[in-house]
Structure 1
Amino acid sequence: MTTNTPKKPEGSTILRRGEPRSEQAYKHIIDGINTGTLPPGTRVTEADLAERTGLSRTPVREALNRLQLEGIVVNDPNRGTIITELDHSMMSELYAMREVLEGTAAGLAARHASEVEIGFLREINERDATLQNTTDLVNNNKLFHSTLYRCAHNRYLLKMLHSLQESMMLLGRSTLATPERAEAARLEHAEIIDALEKRDAQAAEALARKHIREAFKIRLKSTFENPTST
């Protein structure tokens, strides 16, 4: 005798043993922002998210409350709960914090990163020259930065940087989609790695800060040329 197992809604979250359901709902929303299926300004409701994930409303509500505390979603008077849209001021504040934190991470990495870790950073960066697809470049860039963060060997800084990265998702399209930026970023990464190899913490921090400022310039240029995008 066989029984039919009810199918879960299309696009639903696969339940993972031992992981809290609120965490699964949280990850579903974060993944949606990352992939562009939940872009900034999108209205999100408990009912819709529960249907999408196959979870009950309670864990979805908990996930939305957590995201609201983190500034990833906000309550709009006219639209209800939406994925946060960054205005110019918020974007400037975000890049200012990124410059401070990533600069600090680079400085600490110059002091604490092992030779193997620095070698891995160079390997990641050199891979950029072989990549043509923007998605591959973006993923490789994320790997470079997350590795640099870990090279700082400071758990509290790492936690703050991971939180910052979640807010960076709200910016939408990567600056690496701009042709000239991809090559410039690779060269800037190489300079940071050179400073790490020389154990020059001051230079590493200065170069990392410059790298973020250059990315911000491209972001501003894109925003001014296309006011409908962030």
Structure 2
Amino acid sequence: MDPNRIAETLQNDIENGTLSPGTVLKQERLAERFGVSRQPVRQALERLLVNGLLTKRSDRSLAVNGLSADEARDLSQIRISLESTALILSIPHLSQNDLRKAIRLNDDLFEEENPAIIEELDIAFHQTLYAPCGNDRLLKMIAELRGEARRSYHRQPPGSQARKVFYEEHNDLLAVCNRGDVNKAIEIIENHIGITSRQLVQSPENGAPQ
């Protein structure tokens, strides 16, 4: 396996929460995992370091980087701006079929255990509500930024308070969209994204080695 493939796999593990912030990446273990020598692993780790997904610790080891409070705040502010704009443009054009589809997706999301499938369902839920905005570039930007928040899906196990809040906020958003209440929809999405943002703040430098 070449360094690009290794880097892509590790990046996916970081973004989906399999490798949590603070996790120390050991070249020997990764070489065993991928069935390669340490050289391609070292090259892959260097690329992730340059891309900001890893941080070099005081002992020169590499650990998974998390978002700082400021970075999480900045991401939240941009997402709120873009997703609020999408709602403003889309709500007047949402059909009952759109809303029924979103209800089904949210119900499936509430019961799902696999974080990867939760992510797919959540993306589909918001895409259903935003798609009628008719602005493809806006939708693409939203999708890219939502990718940076993937770790939050691992912090909402079934039966948890976080999952319940997640589900209920979606239902509240559906209700106000159905009424055409744009201002209330923006208020809900601001709070919804704010909760996700707080879940992304990096952990202390004490992660387990990988």
**Shift in Å, 1:93:** 3.0
Does the CA-based 8 Å contact 2:99-2:178 persist in structure 1?
Answer: yes
Provide the C-alpha distance between the structure 1 equivalents of 2:93 and 2:41, rounded to a whole number of angstroms: 40
How much has 1:200 moved relative to structure 2?
4.3
Change (3 A) 1:113 1:73: farther
Secondary structure class of the residue paired with 1:74: strand
| Pairing partner for 2:192 from 211, 214, 219 | 211
Taking structure 2 as the reference length, what is the TM-score of the superposition?
A: 0.65
Gaps of 5+ in 2: none
Checking the alignment, whether the CA contact within 8 Å between 1:105 and 1:148 is kept in structure 2 is no
CA offsets, 1:103-122, max 9 Å, x none? 33333432455554332211
The alignment yields a C-alpha RMSD, in angstroms, of 4.3
Corresponding residue SS for 1:41: coil
Task: Describe the SS at the equivalent of 1:85.
Answer: coil
Counterpart residue number, 1:107: 88
State the identity as a percent. Answer: 21
Matches within 5 A, 1:52-131: 52-54=33-35, 61=43, 65=47, 67-68=48-49, 70-76=51-57, 78-111=59-92, 113=94, 115-128=96-109, 131=111
Q: Distance in 1 between matches of 2:41 and 2:155?
A: 31
Change (3 A) 1:127 1:173: closer
Seen in structure 2, the aligned counterparts of structure 1 residues 60 and 119 have a Cα distance that, compared at 3 Å, is farther
Answer 1 or 2: higher relative contact order, Cα 8 Å, separation at least 6.
2
Name which of 141, 145, 148 aligns with 1:164. 145
**Which whole-Å deviations, capped at 9, do the CAs of 1:87-146 have from their partners, x for residues lacking one?**
3333333333333333333334324555543322111123355x2x6x358843651244
Return the letter of the residue paired with 1:158: L
CA apart distance, 1:83: 1.6
CA contact (8 A) 1:40 1:84 kept: yes
Counterparts of 1:207 and 1:157, CA distance in 2: 20
CA distance in structure 2 between the aligned counterparts of 1:138 and 1:202, rounded to whole angstroms:
31
1:17 paired residue number = none
Q: State the secondary structure of the residue aligned to 2:149.
A: helix
Gaps of 5+ in 1: 1-12, 14-19
Instruction: Select the residue among 23, 29, 38 that pairs with 1:42.
Output: 23
Match of 2:126?
148
